[in-house]
């Protein structure tokens, strides 16, 4: 070591920077109660009840030899994207329950699985090979039956423009240059993966501006951070929830945008706000119910939205929206889970149900689904082993499906047997 003794500052370290370093070190002592961490609740280890390793019963008979209700090309696309992630990631392993799984093991799982589904074997032979070659591992879910709650998300399409007009007056902001992300893992290994997000003001690290401060008090006005403008504040709010979207320009051009950064505040569901303010009952809460309430009560929109301090900043991307792995997501194949629980990019089998709609958009029946998916995304509200969000694609049908999903089911992480 050089220095580190006495009361004098190390040479060459400005007073403001030294104060900031001291402040960050002090914050490490109280990080678990920081209200502005980029997660909804204090860090916690994944649950440790015994994992269940078993081959799930195969009830459906469809394209992938009896256990998958979608097409094979979409599955191959999703697998290839996870493999590209593994080839580029700096991570060497991931923790899953009580074991550490290497990236090499996860890659081998995908490569071997892809070889089976590409083979010319009959469906029953594929099932037999999958059963013999892979472990199917489930974790405790929301209840003692290990049930998982499945929801859906989608890519919304909004009407917008590059310049502000009377119609297009609601801004989409890029990431502010004063937004500071502190990687706590660099200070202490036990905080690996944890972040503090804020801004530095007079040498002090403060929470970043809240939704209310940005949207109603103009905290970001005059800084040229607006790169698109849209015409619908409700659609813009739900764009923040979905994390990516498409903006249709007046000339028909479509601009794709994706998540760049959040302001680090906790996410507060609109459904919770509506229930607590006694605007809707628990029985009335649904995507359709919420949208109907907002349509009937436009004067309440600003107040309701401001109860959620979390704010999302966006960036333009060239093609498909990106998931948290920074690779495109695949409709029906990408899922979002808690990265503290499930290995990033991993292969899984899910079982739940989905609605079928009539010509009027009403649900006419629910049907079981069974499919292979890839864990390629994350979400502020997706925490713990009992939550899975399915990417439903884009367009009105995807919005309708995603807005209707809130069903129990099962998820099995798949690993190649040794």
Q: Torsion angle of alpha carbons 192, 378, 173, 401, nearest 10°?
A: -170
**How confident is the model over 167-177, as a mean pLDDT?**
98
Domains of the chain: 14-40+180-205 (no CATH), 52-153+327-416 (2.40.40.10), 155-179+206-317 (2.40.240.50)
- Length of the chain as a residue count: 418
Local structure of 208: helix, strand or coil: coil
Q: Are strands 148-155 and 93-96 parallel, antiparallel or unpaired?
A: unpaired
In this structure, are residues 411 and 142 in contact, taking their beta carbons and an 8 Å threshold? no
Task: List residues bridging with 261 in a β-sheet.
Answer: 313
pLDDT bucket at 8, cuts 50 / 70 / 90: very low
In this structure, are residues 257 and 227 in contact, taking their beta carbons and an 8 Å threshold? no
The percentage of the chain sitting over the pLDDT mark of 70, rounded to a whole number, equals 83
Please check the confidence at residue 10 and state whether its pLDDT lies above 50. Answer: no
Q: Which pLDDT tens digit goes with each residue over 108-119? A: 999 999 999 999
In this structure, are residues 209 and 220 in contact, taking their beta carbons and an 8 Å threshold? yes
Q: Which pLDDT tens digit goes with each residue over 361-372? A: 889 999 999 999
Q: What is the DSSP string of 177-206?
A: TT-EEEEGGGT-GGGTT-EEEEEEETTEEE
Q: What is the pLDDT of residue 139?
A: 80
Task: List residues bridging with 334 in a β-sheet.
Answer: 374
Judge residue 52's burial from the number of C-beta atoms within 10 Å of its C-beta, 0-12 exposed, 13-18 middle, 19 or more buried. middle
Query: Which are the contacts of 236, defined by CB distance < 8 A and separation ≥ 6?
Result: 158, 170, 172, 230
Neighbours of 13 (CB within 10 A): 11
Q: What is the pLDDT of residue 65?
A: 43
């Amino acid at each position: 070591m050089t220095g580190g003794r006495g009361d004098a500052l190390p040479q060459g370290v400005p007073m403001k920077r030294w104060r900031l370093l001291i402040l960050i070190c002090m914050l490490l002592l109280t990080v678990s109660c920081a209200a502005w961490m980029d997660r909804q609740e204090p860090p916690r280890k994944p649950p440790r009840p015994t994992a269940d390793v078993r081959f799930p019963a195969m009830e459906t008979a469809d394209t992938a030899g009896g256990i998958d209700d979608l097409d094979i090309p979409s599955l191959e696309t999703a697998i290839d994207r996870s493999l590209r992630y593994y080839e580029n990631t700096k991570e060497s392993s991931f923790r899953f329950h009580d074991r550490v799984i290497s990236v090499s093991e996860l890659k081998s799982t995908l490569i071997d699985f892809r070889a089976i589904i590409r083979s010319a074997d009959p469906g029953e032979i594929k099932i037999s090979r999958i059963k013999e070659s892979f472990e199917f591992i489930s974790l405790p879910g929301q209840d003692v039956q290990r049930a998982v709650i499945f929801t859906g998300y989608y890519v919304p399409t909004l009407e917008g423009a590059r310049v502000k007009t009377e119609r297009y007056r609601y801004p989409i902001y890029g990431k502010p240059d004063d937004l500071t992300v502190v990687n706590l893992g660099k200070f202490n290994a036990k905080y690996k993966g944890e972040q503090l997000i804020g801004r530095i003001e007079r040498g002090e690290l403060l929470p970043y501006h809240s939704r209310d401060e940005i949207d109603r008090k103009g905290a970001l006005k005059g800084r040229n951070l607006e790169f698109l403008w849209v015409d619908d504040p409700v659609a813009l709010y739900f764009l923040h929830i979905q994390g990516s979207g498409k903006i249709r320009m007046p000339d028909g051009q479509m601009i794709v945008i994706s998540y760049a950064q959040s302001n680090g505040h906790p996410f507060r569901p609109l459904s919770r706000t509506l229930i607590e303010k006694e605007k809707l009952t628990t029985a009335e809460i649904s995507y359709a119910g919420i949208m109907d309430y907002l349509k009937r009560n436009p004067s309440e929109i600003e107040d309701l939205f401001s109860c959620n301090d979390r704010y999302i900043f966006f960036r333009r991307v060239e093609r498909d929206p990106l998931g948290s792995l920074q690779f495109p997501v695949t409709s029906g194949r990408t899922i979002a889970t808690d990265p503290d629980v499930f290995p990033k990019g991993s292969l899984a089998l899910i079982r739940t149900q989905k609605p079928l709609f009539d010509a009027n958009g009403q649900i006419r029946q629910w049907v079981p689904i069974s499919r292979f998916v890839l864990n390629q995304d994350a979400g502020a509200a997706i925490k713990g082993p009992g939550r899975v969000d399915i990417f439903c694609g884009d367009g009105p049908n995807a919005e309708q499906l995603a807005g209707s999903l809130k069903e129990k089911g099962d998820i099995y992480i798949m690993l190649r047997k040794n």
